[in-house]
A and B are shown apart, each in its own frame.
Chain A
Amino acid sequence: MNRHWTIGLLLLAGAALSWAIPRYELLNPYLQATLMYLGINIILATSLNLINGYLGEFSVGHAGFMAVGAYASAILTVMLLPVGAAAWRFPLAIMAGGCAAALTGLVVAIPAFRTRGDYLAIVTLAFAMIVKSALENINAVGGPRGLLGIEGLSTMPWIFAWTVLSVWVIRNFVYSNPGRGVLAIREDEVAAELMGVNTRRVKIRAFMIASFFAGVAGGLFAHLLQFISPRIFDITKTTDILVMVYLGGVGSIGGSIVGASMFTVLQECLRPLGVWRMVIMPLLLVLLMLFRPRGIMGLRDFPWFRPSVECPQRPPETHPS
């Protein structure tokens, strides 16, 4: 019980801060923007970790889902919903972005999960490229020039709320009954099926949840940057998210948060180095993989992300794939 109080208090403090920081300008705008991108990155990393870490698949299409969510929500606020209307407009747009991404996730998942491993990678990769070039060919959303004139609706409290919500949902999913099925599939798909896990349904469900939050992150991103173009969501974006996930550690919610934070902070700290920054970041990643191949957290998690009654986990050394 004690733990729940601490978490509740921390969340309350976070919510208060996220309201107070922009209100009283406690931080300069640059730091505020960095914090907001950090929140979006946490959502992206946690949701990709659900597929790549917990489910043990290798998806490289996360930027594609992000693009679907970003465009869907931006089209809603720019073209369809009345400007300046009620307060429900922005959450509705973000929800719609998430749902659009989840539906796309379903469309991809049904054929994609007929295969496993590297072939899933290629199907998701092809999907991401299809999304990008489809967007480039739709003139109604600006084609390759991108979509301009998006309002800056992503404020710090909203991003804080969505970050907490996505971490909370994904964490609860992982430790729920179907979530145990997800872990079972990662450890051994055949054995999981023999033990009565409906592998197909569990995989599709996990994939849809992950793409939903990728879409949410995309929507928040669009309303923070106030400009989106197909180029933003290319393969480099996916690589960034992959780096966050594997930097922090696969199969670990805390790891995704640590990874996204380190990635965002390092990227900002190394900015004075100019182009060399872009050499040093991947170099750090390679060194990390060489000396700590499972990332910083590597299948472990902070105790406060774990349920109170813990099932015995297999030691990390025996993890296959």
Chain B
Amino acid sequence: MAYLFQQILNALQLGSIYALIALGYTMVYGIMTMINFAHGDIFMVGAFLCFVAATVLGLSFIPALLFSMLGCALLGVVIERLAYKPLREAPRVSAVITALGVGLMLEHLTLVFSPYPRHVPALWSSASWHVGGVTLSSLQVLIIVLSVLLMVFLDWLVRRTMLGLAIRAISWDRTVAAIMGVPVDAVISLTFAIGASLGGAAGFLYALAYPVIDPYMGVIVGWKAFIAAVVGGIGNIRGAMLGGFILGAVEILVAAFLPSTYRDLIAFALLFILLICKPYGILGQPRPQKV
């Protein structure tokens, strides 16, 4: 029983990181119907910024987190302005391929500057408590609480503020939103900034939880988070959070009760089956085909 609780805790930790990344995918998809395949690598940059903040700059926890988030936000905006904005009217696939290219570039630029895996020093002196056989580390609690706070904040932002209204208006119909006076370019850039900063936060937390980082870490984690976003129903913010937690739970529970090499196999097979049963994700709405 204690073992199960322990695993649920681990699942929450991994799931909250997936959920944070999935939010970036789903926000960009919601506003531009574009899969931003570079997002997994923005997550990786977030982890490396954490490393830079901890070693080169010697920052403490909160400034380092802000450094990662702001750095990634800036990167997200730059990528959007330089690479995606010119392609808004092009076929959607061109933007997707550009995103793949940008992602590869980020990976290999990081590889140029850091050819070896890096070890991130502990920014958070982690204490652990034992509650009825379950080991609870303060880092775990921190990761879960911080991600949930960020998600609640984002949900509030999208549902209750003018900026959120503008985001939803653009995802509803970009042209009409522009006619109604929504500053489309600025809002899209801001959406990228928010999504990328969440990815940066995820990278930061990931680097603290699993402290060996390398330039390719964003590939698999990023694709998995994308799958989480799709499982929840892409374009749907609450769906992305749900999908992230489901994916984390499936992975951890498979690894806990079966040989761990089966983790990816079973996780992906389950997702495959889920998508066949619910092709638009759990919370997604099927879009009717117009004639």
**Footprint of B on A, CB under 8 Å?**
52, 58, 111, 114-115, 118-119, 121-123, 125-127, 129-130, 132-134, 136-137, 189-191, 235-236, 239, 242-243, 246, 250, 275-276, 278-279, 281-283, 285-286, 289-290, 293-294, 319-321
- Determine if A130 and B265 form an interchain contact, defined as CB atoms under 8 angstroms apart: yes
22 chain-A/chain-B pairs, Cβ below 8 angstroms: A111-B276, A118-B29, A119-B275, A121-B35, A122-B275, A127-B272, A133-B262, A133-B263, A242-B100, A246-B94, A246-B97, A250-B93, A275-B115, A279-B105, A279-B109, A283-B105, A285-B104, A289-B101, A290-B86, A290-B87, A321-B92, A321-B93
Given the interface pairs A52-B93, A275-B115, A276-B112, the reply to whether A130 lies near B98 with Cβ below 8 Å is no
The 5 closest A-B pairs by CB, nearest first: A282-B104, A293-B94, A278-B108, A293-B90, A285-B101
* B273-288 residues at the A interface, CB under 8 angstroms: 275-276, 279-280
Q: In the complex, which residue of chain A has the Cβ closest to the Cβ of B86?
A: A290
- Determine if B111 and A275 form an interchain contact, defined as CB atoms under 8 angstroms apart: yes
* Min CB–CB distance B163 → chain A (angstroms): 25
The complex places the Cα of A10 from the Cα of B35 at a distance, in Å, of: 42
The complex places the Cα of A123 from the Cα of B280 at a distance, in Å, of: 12
Contact segment of B54-62, B151-159, B181-189, B226-234 = B226-234
Q: For B111, what are the chain A residues with a Cβ–Cβ distance below 8 Å?
A: 275, 278
- Determine if B223 and A125 form an interchain contact, defined as CB atoms under 8 angstroms apart: yes
Number of interface residues of B (CB under 8 A): 48
- Cβ proximity bits B106-131 to A, threshold 8 Å, 1 near / 0 not: 01110110010000000000000000
Q: In the complex, which residue of chain B has the Cβ closest to the Cβ of A239?
A: B100
Given the interface pairs A118-B234, A122-B226, the reply to whether A130 lies near B269 with Cβ below 8 Å is yes
Is the CB of B83 closer than 8 A to any CB of chain A? Answer: yes
- Determine if A293 and B87 form an interchain contact, defined as CB atoms under 8 angstroms apart: yes
* CB contact between B268 and one of A129, A242, A246, A286 (< 8 Å): that residue: A129
The complex places the Cα of A243 from the Cα of B83 at a distance, in Å, of: 16
* Min CB–CB distance A211 → chain B (angstroms): 16
- Determine if A279 and B92 form an interchain contact, defined as CB atoms under 8 angstroms apart: no
Is the CB of B242 closer than 8 A to any CB of chain A? Answer: no
* Min CB–CB distance B258 → chain A (angstroms): 11
Is the CB of B102 closer than 8 A to any CB of chain A? Answer: yes
- Cβ proximity bits B71-98 to A, threshold 8 Å, 1 near / 0 not: 0000000000001001100111111111
* Min CB–CB distance B276 → chain A (angstroms): 4
Q: In the complex, which residue of chain B has the Cβ closest to the Cβ of A188?
A: B291
Q: In the complex, which residue of chain A has the Cβ closest to the Cβ of B279?
A: A115
- Determine if B272 and A285 form an interchain contact, defined as CB atoms under 8 angstroms apart: no
Is the CB of B9 closer than 8 A to any CB of chain A? Answer: no
**Footprint of A on B, CB under 8 Å?**
29, 35, 83, 86-87, 90-98, 100-105, 107-109, 111-112, 115, 219-220, 223, 226-227, 230, 234, 261-265, 268-269, 271-272, 275-276, 279-280, 289, 291
Q: For B291, what are the chain A residues with a Cβ–Cβ distance below 8 Å?
A: 190-191
* CB contact between A290 and one of B35, B83, B220, B272 (< 8 Å): that residue: B83
Q: Apart from A250-B93, A282-B108, A289-B97, what are 13 other A-B pairs with CB-CB below 8 Å?
A: A58-B96, A118-B230, A123-B276, A125-B226, A126-B268, A129-B264, A239-B100, A279-B109, A281-B104, A290-B86, A293-B94, A294-B91, A321-B93
- Determine if A279 and B275 form an interchain contact, defined as CB atoms under 8 angstroms apart: no
* Min CB–CB distance B271 → chain A (angstroms): 6
- Determine if B265 and A137 form an interchain contact, defined as CB atoms under 8 angstroms apart: yes
Q: For A239, what are the chain B residues with a Cβ–Cβ distance below 8 Å?
A: 100, 104
- Determine if B104 and A123 form an interchain contact, defined as CB atoms under 8 angstroms apart: no
Q: For B289, what are the chain A residues with a Cβ–Cβ distance below 8 Å?
A: 189-190
Q: For B107, what are the chain A residues with a Cβ–Cβ distance below 8 Å?
A: 278
- Determine if B101 and A282 form an interchain contact, defined as CB atoms under 8 angstroms apart: yes
The complex places the Cα of A279 from the Cα of B87 at a distance, in Å, of: 21
The complex places the Cα of A258 from the Cα of B97 at a distance, in Å, of: 18
- Determine if B105 and A286 form an interchain contact, defined as CB atoms under 8 angstroms apart: yes
- Determine if A294 and B109 form an interchain contact, defined as CB atoms under 8 angstroms apart: no
* Min CB–CB distance B116 → chain A (angstroms): 12
* Min CB–CB distance B85 → chain A (angstroms): 10
Q: In the complex, which residue of chain A has the Cβ closest to the Cβ of B79?
A: A286
Q: For B108, what are the chain A residues with a Cβ–Cβ distance below 8 Å?
A: 275, 278-279, 282
* Min CB–CB distance B193 → chain A (angstroms): 20
- Determine if B102 and A286 form an interchain contact, defined as CB atoms under 8 angstroms apart: yes
* Min CB–CB distance B274 → chain A (angstroms): 10
- Determine if B98 and A286 form an interchain contact, defined as CB atoms under 8 angstroms apart: yes
- Determine if A243 and B97 form an interchain contact, defined as CB atoms under 8 angstroms apart: yes
The complex places the Cα of A41 from the Cα of B263 at a distance, in Å, of: 32
The complex places the Cα of A119 from the Cα of B232 at a distance, in Å, of: 12
Most chain A CB atoms below 10 A, which of B86, B112, B275: B275
Q: For B87, what are the chain A residues with a Cβ–Cβ distance below 8 Å?
A: 289-290, 293
Q: In the complex, which residue of chain A has the Cβ closest to the Cβ of B229?
A: A122
* Min CB–CB distance B78 → chain A (angstroms): 13
- Determine if A136 and B261 form an interchain contact, defined as CB atoms under 8 angstroms apart: yes
- Determine if B91 and A278 form an interchain contact, defined as CB atoms under 8 angstroms apart: no
- Determine if B227 and A125 form an interchain contact, defined as CB atoms under 8 angstroms apart: yes
Q: In the complex, which residue of chain B has the Cβ closest to the Cβ of A194?
A: B291
Q: For A119, what are the chain B residues with a Cβ–Cβ distance below 8 Å?
A: 230, 275, 279-280
Q: In the complex, which residue of chain B has the Cβ closest to the Cβ of A276?
A: B112
